[in-house]
Amino acid sequence: MTDDRLHKALEFANYRQTFFNQKQILKNKSQALLSYSTQGGTFKVTQELIAFVGIFVQQEYEEMVLLDINENPIKIENLKSFLNEITSRYFEVTNDYHKQYSEMQNKRRTAKLVEPA
């Protein structure tokens, strides 16, 4: 094995490590942004929460009590608006995650991965 081959392999290992780390940074960022606060409570915006609230909005409930991340009961007074808010937050964050991740996938060099957008 020539030194050049080894050098390339090590360079690629560095690239992979940086890529993986940047992906985790994006993932943690999405996780942090997927939260929504209202009425003194905070909710983690998940697919389950959206589906759960969606069921009751479809059944024309106008308000309901939900447990927030601290398991405090929070009365949501305008359920439809709450659903709109969490849904748009979900799309905003996941679309941004997708966009940034796609951009990263096209970058084949370590330095490019951390270049400002």
What is the contact surface with another protein in residues (CB under 8 A)? 14, 17-18, 20-22, 24-25, 28-29, 32-33, 35, 37, 40-42, 69-70, 72, 74, 100, 110-111, 113-117
Nearer Cβ to another protein (9/114): 114
Least distance from C-beta 108 to another protein, angstroms? Answer: 15
What string of H, E and C letters represents the secondary structure of the chain? CCHHHHHHHHHHHHHHHHHHHHHHHHHHHHHHHCEEEECCEEEECCHHHHHHHHHHHHCCCCCEEEECCCCCEEEECCHHHHHHHHHHHHHHHHHHHHHHHHHHHCCCCHHHHCCCC
Nearer Cβ to another protein (59/94): 94
Least distance from C-beta 13 to another protein, angstroms? Answer: 10
Nearer Cβ to another protein (3/115): 115
